Chains A and B, each alone.
Chain A
Amino acid sequence: MASRPECACGDTSALAGGKKRIIFPCAGTANVGLISNAAALQLAEEGYGVATCIALLGSGDPGLKKRIADADEVVIIDGCPMTCGAKIANAQGVIPAQHIVITGLGIDKVYEKNVTEDEVELVVSAAWEGKGRT
C-alpha cells in the first residue's frame, strides 16, 4: 500500500523546492506596525518562514547574518512608507526578495492599538500571493 502523502505544513517545503524564508516585521507602534508583527507571526505559524526581530538585524548580529546567508529569501513587512524595515535591511546589506508596505494594501496608519483579523489576513495573503516581490 502506498504511504500517506506528507503535508508541507510541516518542515518539508525545502525538500519540495520550497523557500526557506526569514520574515522581518517593522514592529512599529502605530496600528500598521502592530499588524506587521501579527502578520509575521501568523505567516510563521502557517509555515511560510521564520519570523525574526528587525532590531536584531539592526544590531548587526553575526549569528543572524549567517542565518540570512543560509536562507533562500528575506521578506520585509513595513507598516508605512517610512519603510524603516527595508532601510535597516539595506544598511546591513540585505536585499529582500519581497517587500510589503501595509499602507500600500489600503490600511491607513493611525496611532491606535486596535488590529483586526481581517487586516492581518490582508497582509498574510499578500505575502503568500507574492505581492511584494521586487
Chain B
Amino acid sequence: MKIEVLGTGCMKCKRLFKNVEIAVKELGITAEIVKVDDISEIINRGVMLTPALAVDGDMKVSGRVADVKELKEILKG
C-alpha cells in the first residue's frame, strides 16, 4: 500500500502525516508513507485544498486533518 500526504509543509500537513504514521502502526500493516510537497505535483494531482491524502493513487481526504480513527477506517478499506 502506498500512502501519500500532499501538502507544502504546513503544520496541518505535518499533523496529518503523523496521524497516518500512528494509524499504520496501530493497524500493524505494511505501507509506504510518502510526503508530496512539490507544488506542481500537487496541482497536477488535482488537489485544490491541502493537506490531502491519497491511498494507492485514490484521493481520500482533502483540506483537513483526518484523525487516527478515521484514517484506520480508510486504510482498512
Contact = CB atoms under 8 A, between A and B. Distances in A.
Contacts of A111: none
A16 B12 contact: no
Interface residues of B, number: 27
A110 interface: no
A12 B8 CA distance: 16
A47 B11 contact: yes
Interface in A1-46: 2-9, 12-13, 15-19, 46
A5 B11 contact: no
Contact of A46 (B12, B44, B64): B12
Contacts of B47: 5
A7 B12 contact: yes
Most chain B beta carbons < 10 A, residue from A8, A17, A129, A133:
A8
A92 interface: no
Interface of B: 7-8, 10-13, 15, 18-19, 22, 39, 42-44, 47-51, 62-65, 67-70
Given A5-B39, A6-B63, A7-B50, 11 more contacts: A5-B42, A6-B49, A7-B8, A8-B50, A13-B63, A15-B49, A18-B65, A46-B11, A48-B65, A128-B67, A130-B69
